[in-house]
A and B are shown apart, each in its own frame.
Chain A
Amino acid sequence: MSDSEPLATDDAASADVATRSDSAPEPVSSNGRLLSWVSTVDHKKIGILYICTAVFFLAIGGLEALLIRVQLLFPNNTFLSPDLFNQMFTMHGTTMVFLVGMPVLVGFQNYFVPLMIGARDVAFPRLNAMSYWLLPFGGILLYFSFMTGQAPDAGWFSYAPLSTKPYNLMPAQDYWIIGLICLGVGSVAASINIFVTVLQCRAPGMSLQRVPLFVWMSLMTAILTILALPALNSALAMLLIDRLLGAAFFEPARGGSAVLWQHYFWVFGHPEVYILILPAFGMISEVIPVFSRKPIYGYAFVAGSSAVIVLLSYGVWAHHMFAVGLGMGADMFFAVGTLLIALPTGLKVFNWTATMWGGSIRLTTAMMFAVAFLLEFVIGGLTGVMFAAVPIDWQLTDTYFVVGHFHYVLIGGTVFGLFSATYYWFPKMTGRMLSERLGKWQLWLWVFGLNATFLSQHVLGVMGMPRRVYTYADNPGWMALNAFAGAGAVAMAAGTLVMLLNIWVSLRRGEKAGDNPWEGFTLEWATSSPPPPENFAVIPEVSSRRPVWDLDHPDAADGQREQTPADSGWRPDKSITSIWAFVASEAVFFLLLLVAYVVFNTDLVGEITSASVLDVPRTALFSVALLGSSFTLWRAEALLKVGKLSEFRLWLALTIVLGAIFIGGQAIEYYGLISSEVTISDNLFTATFFTVTGFHGLHVIVGLIALGVVFVLAAKQDRHVLHGTTLKAIGIYWHFVDVVWIFVFCIIYLGFMQ
C-alpha cells in the first residue's frame, strides 16, 4: 500500500534521482550513474530499461532462431540434436513472447503513456520499478535452466502431458513455470499501473474520448493483461503442484486432463495475441496521421473496435484446439466467433488506408514501416481467417503454415509497428535523429527477410512439413525452400544489426532533434527532447484529440472543425481503482481453480471425496467467523469515516481476530486431514481441494498482514491511513476474499454444481 502515498513524494524522489544523473553540472562517477538507473522510479528511465532488456533478450531469442534455421538448412542434418532442437524452439518462443514482445511494448507504454496524457509520471512509480525488476528476475530464472543441463523443451505452450513429470523429469520445466509466474506477476502489476494511469492522471480537458490512440490501445492491452494473465498463472500453479507435490491435474494416466491444460493455456494464449498486437495498432495509429498530415480517419471506430476485440478475444480460444476433438457443435461456434473477431481487426486496415488517402504523405522510415505493417499484417491476418475454417485447420495445423501465419502477424504486425515507433519516437527519447539512410536499409532487409522466411514456410506447410520436428527427409523442393527461409533469417538478423548501429551512431553524433521534429500532434511533442524529469513545465490546454496541432495552428484548430466529448473533470481514486483491477485479476484466477474443482469432482468415485473426508459443520462455523469479519471491517470503515478512532481500532482488531480464527480453523482442518494421510497427491479431489483452499488461505493471510499494517499505522496516527482511502482499498480486497470463500464453501463443502 506504500504506493498509495501522494504523488508528490514520488515526484520528489524521481526528480532527486534525475538531478543526480542528468542535470548535475559536476561530472558524475559511473558508479552514481549506474545507481541512478538501478534505483530509478522515473517512468521514462524504467521504459528505457524495459526496452533495453527486451533488446538483450531479442539477441538471445534471435540467436536461437538462427540455430534452428541452420539445423533445417539441409535434410537429415545433425547440427543440432533432436533434444537441443526442442529446447531451441521452446526457448525461442518463450523468449520472444514473454521476454521480448511484452516487455518492449510495456516499455514504450511506460515511456509514452504518461507523456501523451500530460502526466508527471505513472500512477504508482515504485510499483512500476518492481514490475520492471521482475522481468530480469524471471528472465534469469528461465535461462538459469541451462545450468541444470537442459533447457525447457515442451514448446512455448508446454502441452500436457509432455510437460508433466512422467515425460519431463528434468528441473528445466520447473524453471520455465516459476520464471513465467514471475513475469506474469510483473506484467499484471505493470498493467494495473497503466490502467490506473490512463484513468486517473490525464491532463485537464483530456476526456477518455480524446486520448491519443496509442494511449487507448495501451488501456485496452492493460485490461486484456489483467484478465488474461491469471488464467496462465492458475494453469502454471496447477502444473507446478503436479510436478513438485505429485498431484495429477494434467496427467491423464492418473485421471487428470491434458485437454484442460490446453483450455487454460489458450484462454490466456488467445488474448495474449491481442496483448502483442493492440499496442502496435496504437503505434501506427500515431505514425500514419502525423506523416499524412491528417487526423486519423474514424477515430471512434478504431478505438471502439479495439474494445470489441478485447471482449471477443476471450471467447475464441478453442480455435487453437480444433484438432483436439471438441465436437462438431463447439467447432462450429468457435469458427464463427473467430470469423467475427476478424471484422474489428480487419476493418481497421481501411481506417489507416483512408487516413493516408488525400494526405500529404512523407515517406520517412517510420512511415514506411507503418505502410509495410499494413501490407504484411494483412497477409498474416488473412491466413488467420483461413484457420477459422475447421477443415483447413485440421489439414494445416502443426505444419509450417501455422508458423508462417503467426510470424507474419507478430513480425509484420508487432515488430514493424515497433520499428515504426522506434524511428518516430527515438528523437523524443534521446534528442537526436536516427539516420534515414540506415533506416531504409533496415526496412528493406526486414521486408525481404520476413517474406523470404515465412512465405517459404507457408509453402512448406501446405506441402506437409510438420513444425517442431528437428529434421526432414529429402523431399523435392523442401531443401530449396528451407534454404531460402534461412537466407531470410540472416537478412532479418542483419537488419537488426543495422538498427543497433544506427542507434549507436545517432547517440554519438546524430542530428539534434528539437522538441517536435515531425510536427507531431500529441502532447509528448509539447515538451523538450528528451523530456525533463517532471515531463512538462506547463501542461498545454487540451480541447481536442490533437492538442499540439491546435497549439501550432490556432486558426485551423480541431475544435473548430469537429466537436469531441468534453472532459467532465472527474478522475477515479488511485487506490480504489487499482484494487478493483487487482480483484478482477484475482477473481479470474480463483474462477479457473474452481472450474478445475468442478471438472474433476463431478462424478468422482473413490474412497476420498468431499463427502467422505470433510467436516462441513465445523468449517461452516469457521466460515461464519470469516464472513463476520467482513461485517466488522465494514463497521470499522464507517467509524473511521466519522472519526471515532478508538472504536474504529476496536472493530479493526476484531476483524483481525475473526480472520485469524478462520485461518486457525483451516489449520485444524489441514492438520486433521494430513494426519489421517489425506494429502494433495492422493487423488483429484485432494489435489483440487488443497489447491483451492490453500490459495484462498494464502489470500486471507495476505489480507491479515495488510490489516495488521493498517492497525499499527493507525495506532501511530498515520495520516494516510486515517484520512486516505487505504482502509477502503484493503476493505475491497478483504470483502472479495470473503465472497470467494462463499463460492468455495458452496462448491466444495456443499457440493453445488456436481
Chain B
Amino acid sequence: MIELISDRALWNWWSPAWFVAAVVAVLYGRYPGWTSLSKSLWLIAGLSVLVFAFVSPLGVLADGFLFSAHMIQHLLLLLVVPLCLVLSLPPSSAEPAFSGTVDEGSLRKMMRRVMKNPIAGWSVGLGAMWFWHVPAFCNAATENYMISVVRTVTFLAAGLLFWWPIYSPRKQARLPASHAVVYLFSACLGCTLLGIYITFTTITVCPAFASPEERLAVMIALHDAGMTSSVDQQLGGLLMWVPPCSLYVAAIVSVLCRWYAVGEPGEAGLAVTRTAEVR
C-alpha cells in the first residue's frame, strides 16, 4: 500500500483534470444565484473526486494496467462526479433551461426536451455503461488517448443526464417518487446484468488490460499477490455490479424520504396528476 502511494510513476500530477476542475469552479463561482454553503460543498466534493480519478494511482492504473482500477474510475466519472455536480446546483440555476421564451434557440429547446424525458436520461446513463464495455470500444479507449477523452466526456454528460430526473434543482422537473424508484431500480438491474456478465464470462472484455505494453513495478507485485488478469476482470465485474446498485438504493432511500416528508405532497400529487393527464 505504501509502495502504491510513494511510487512516483503512479501519480499523474500534470493531468488536465486540474484544468477542467478549475474552469468549472470559476464558472460556478461567477454564477449569480450562488447562495448556500452545502451546495458548494457538493461542488468541492465532485471536483475533488474528478481530480482524484485522474491524478491518483487510480488514474494511472486505470490507463491500461488494471481493469478493476478502470472500473472504479469509470464509476466515479459516470455516477459520483455528476451526482455531486447536480446536487451542487442552486435551485435557480435550472430556471433558464425551463422558462425559455418563444424565440429561444432550437438547440436549447431540444436540450430542454431531452432533460425532461426520463427515458432519455435512463438510456443514456445505462447506454454509456454498456457501450464502453463492448470489447472493441473498451480497447480503443484504453489504447487511444483521444478516444479516452471522448469516453470521459460522454461519461460525465451521461451521468448528468441520468441524475437529472432524480435530483434536478428544480423540483417540478423531478420524477414523481414511484417513477423515480422504478427508474433507479431498473438502472440497478441494468448494471447488475452487465456486472454479472463481466464477472462470469469467459471472454476477455477489454484485452488491452490483459497484456499491458509496459510494466509497472507495482503490477508485478500485484500479479504475485494473485491479481491475475482473470481475477482482475472478475473484480471489475463485481465493481460494476454491487457499488452502483448500492448507490442507486441509497438514492431510492432519499427519494422515499422525500416522498414521506410532509410539505411536498401537494407537489408530488401534482406531478402524479400531470402524468395522468399525459396518459
Q: CB within 8 A of A333: which of B203, B241, B276?
A: B241
Count residues of chain A with CB under 8 A from any CB of chain B. Answer: 36
Residues of chain B within 8 A (CB-CB) of A304 are: 253, 256-257, 260
Residues of chain A within 8 A (CB-CB) of B123 are: none
Q: Roughly how many angstroms separate A209 CA and B178 CA in the complex, as a whole number?
A: 12
Q: Roughly how many angstroms separate A599 CA and B246 CA in the complex, as a whole number?
A: 26
Contacting chain A: which of B16-24, B94-102, B231-239?
Answer: B231-239
Evaluate contact between B202 and A307: CB separation under 8 angstroms: no
Q: Roughly how many angstroms separate A569 CA and B272 CA in the complex, as a whole number?
A: 10
Q: Is B266 an interface residue (CB 8 A)?
A: yes
1/0 per residue A562-573: CB within 8 Å of B? 011111111000
Evaluate contact between B249 and A308: CB separation under 8 angstroms: yes
1/0 per residue A303-342: CB within 8 Å of B? 1100110011011000000000001011001001100100
A308-B253, A330-B238 given; A209·B259 CB < 8 A: yes
Nearest Cβ on chain B to A483's Cβ, whole angstroms: 45
Q: Is B185 an interface residue (CB 8 A)?
A: yes
Residues of chain A within 8 A (CB-CB) of B253 are: 304, 308
Evaluate contact between B259 and A329: CB separation under 8 angstroms: no
Q: Roughly how many angstroms separate A591 CA and B189 CA in the complex, as a whole number?
A: 11
Evaluate contact between B268 and A568: CB separation under 8 angstroms: yes
Evaluate contact between A753 and B197: CB separation under 8 angstroms: yes
Tell me the residues in window 328-361 of chain A with beta carbons closer than 8 Å to chain B beta carbons: 329-330, 333, 336-337, 340
Nearest Cβ on chain B to A411's Cβ, whole angstroms: 30
Evaluate contact between A568 and B181: CB separation under 8 angstroms: no
Q: Roughly how many angstroms separate A564 CA and B234 CA in the complex, as a whole number?
A: 46
Q: Chain A's interface: helix, strand, loop or mixed, by majority? A: helix
Nearest Cβ on chain A to B238's Cβ, whole angstroms: 5
Evaluate contact between A564 and B235: CB separation under 8 angstroms: no
Interface residues on B, range: 35 or more
Q: Is B172 an interface residue (CB 8 A)?
A: no
For A315, the closest partner residue in chain B by CB is: B245
Q: Roughly how many angstroms separate A753 CA and B256 CA in the complex, as a whole number?
A: 36
Residues of chain B within 8 A (CB-CB) of A307 are: 181, 252, 256
Count of A-B contacts judged by CB separation below 8 Å? 83
A300-B260, A564-B262 given; A308·B269 CB < 8 A: no
Residues of chain A within 8 A (CB-CB) of B257 are: 300, 304
Q: Is B265 an interface residue (CB 8 A)?
A: yes
Q: Roughly how many angstroms separate A690 CA and B201 CA in the complex, as a whole number?
A: 22
Nearest Cβ on chain A to B256's Cβ, whole angstroms: 4
Q: Roughly how many angstroms separate A207 CA and B264 CA in the complex, as a whole number?
A: 13
Q: Is B199 an interface residue (CB 8 A)?
A: yes
Evaluate contact between A570 and B246: CB separation under 8 angstroms: no
Q: Roughly how many angstroms separate A95 CA and B126 CA in the complex, as a whole number?
A: 41
Evaluate contact between A568 and B269: CB separation under 8 angstroms: yes
Tell me the residues in window 555-589 of chain A with beta carbons closer than 8 Å to chain B beta carbons: 563-570
Nearest Cβ on chain B to A369's Cβ, whole angstroms: 29
Evaluate contact between B269 and A570: CB separation under 8 angstroms: yes
Evaluate contact between A598 and B265: CB separation under 8 angstroms: no
Q: Roughly how many angstroms separate A209 CA and B269 CA in the complex, as a whole number?
A: 12
A565-B262, A566-B269, A568-B273 given; A312·B249 CB < 8 A: yes
Tell me the residues in window 149-165 of chain B with beta carbons closer than 8 Å to chain A beta carbons: none
Tell me the residues in window 128-157 of chain B with beta carbons closer than 8 Å to chain A beta carbons: none
Residues of chain A within 8 A (CB-CB) of B238 are: 329-330, 333
1/0 per residue A196-213: CB within 8 Å of B? 000000000001110000
Evaluate contact between A568 and B252: CB separation under 8 angstroms: no
Nearest Cβ on chain B to A35's Cβ, whole angstroms: 42
Residues of chain A within 8 A (CB-CB) of B252 are: 307-308, 311
Q: Roughly how many angstroms separate A340 CA and B193 CA in the complex, as a whole number?
A: 20
Tell me the residues in window 439-491 of chain A with beta carbons closer than 8 Å to chain B beta carbons: none
Q: Roughly how many angstroms separate A707 CA and B210 CA in the complex, as a whole number?
A: 52
Tell me the residues in window 178-227 of chain A with beta carbons closer than 8 Å to chain B beta carbons: 207-209
For B260, the closest partner residue in chain A by CB is: A300
Q: Name 6 A/B residue pairs within 8 A (Cβ), A-sorted.
A: A207-B265, A208-B178, A303-B260, A308-B253, A329-B234, A563-B262
Query: Other than the known A315-B192, A565-B261, A603-B202, what 11 A-B pairs have Cβ atoms closer than 8 Å?
Result: A207-B265, A300-B256, A300-B260, A315-B245, A329-B234, A329-B235, A329-B238, A564-B262, A568-B265, A570-B269, A598-B197
What residues make up the interface of A, taking CB atoms closer than 8 Å to B?
Answer: 207-209, 299-300, 303-304, 307-308, 311-312, 314-315, 327, 329-330, 333, 336-337, 340, 563-570, 591, 595, 598-599, 602-603, 753-754
Which 8 pairs of residues, A with B, have the shortest CB-CB distance?
Answer: A568-B269, A565-B265, A300-B260, A304-B256, A563-B262, A333-B242, A333-B238, A329-B235
